[in-house]
Amino acid sequence: MKFGVIVFPGSNCDDDTVGVIQSLGHEAIKLWHKDTDLQGCDFLIVPGGFSYGDYLRSGAIARFSPIMEHVIEFAKNGGYLMGICNGFQVLVEAHLLPGVLLRNNSQKFISKNIFLKAATNNALLTQELDLNKAYKVPIAHAEGRYFADEATLASLQANDQILFYYCDEAGQVTDAANPNGSLLNIAGICNEGRNVFGLMPHPERAADPDLNNTDGLEIMKQLVLQLV
């Protein structure tokens, strides 16, 4: 498997993402935002960071970078694509995932460990995760509050497109465990085709024993379980 990690001016989690993929035994390369060649990658990841300084709205400018035309085509043809944090924001701005990501209800940038739980095993990103386990991973965002209209939320639920919920350490999905005010405590979703994924927490930042936390590695492992 060959993974491509797309780098925009302001991306800062590209090295973390490449490192985790390589630790799982797969090739990972960086693709610059001005590139127009996806170099035969089988799976694309838009990493976290502050693309274009988060001007206008997070991800709004990056969505129009030259490479995104090819990323959109890749996804619409069924290619696997994941956005993490700022990457999730980019994919929403590109209309590859439904809804929007608004400013946190605290109106503050939040950087801390939180807990999330998988909502389904019916997706590549969550295929073998324990649905009863609370995974500890960090968040680092100012615009992470997932919002959608009632029809979109109903569609996400009906189509089993909600991948992750914010929860407490015991795995309970509660208002108190919601760090940013996301509707329904949503932390991650997929598209109807189940090939495009987005999540606000950073599993790639919780994937090294030296950090005393490998919960994120369990999430990243899902990407390569069946993709051989």
- pLDDT, residue 56, reads 77
Fold of 2-224: Rossmann fold (3.40.50)
* Phi, psi (deg, nearest 5) at residue 178: -85, 110
Residues marked as catalytic:
85, 202, 204
For the chain, the structural domain boundaries read 2-224
- pLDDT, residue 227, reads 59
Give the three-class secondary structure for 211.
helix
What's the angle, vertex CA 93, arms to CA 31 and CA 81, rounded to 5? Answer: 45
Question: The tokens 């599993």 sit on which residue?
Answer: 203
How many CB atoms are located within 10 Å of the residue 183 CB? 17
* Distance of alpha carbon 107 from alpha carbon 84, whole angstroms: 21
- pLDDT, residue 25, reads 94
- Report the percentage of the chain scoring pLDDT > 70: 99
Q: How far is CA 209 from the centre of its chain?
A: 22
In contact, 42 and 18? CB cutoff 8 Å: no
Question: Is the pLDDT score of 68 beyond 80?
Answer: yes
pLDDT, tens digit, 9 for 90 and up, residues 9-63: 999 999 999 999 999 999 999 999 999 999 999 999 999 999 988 887 888 888 8
pLDDT, tens digit, 9 for 90 and up, residues 151-206: 999 999 999 999 999 999 999 999 999 999 999 999 999 999 999 999 999 999 99
Contacts of residue 80, defined as CB under 8 A and 6 or more positions apart, other chains included, come to 42, 43, 44, 124, 195, 196, 223, 227
- pLDDT, residue 211, reads 87
* Phi, psi (deg, nearest 5) at residue 183: -60, 135
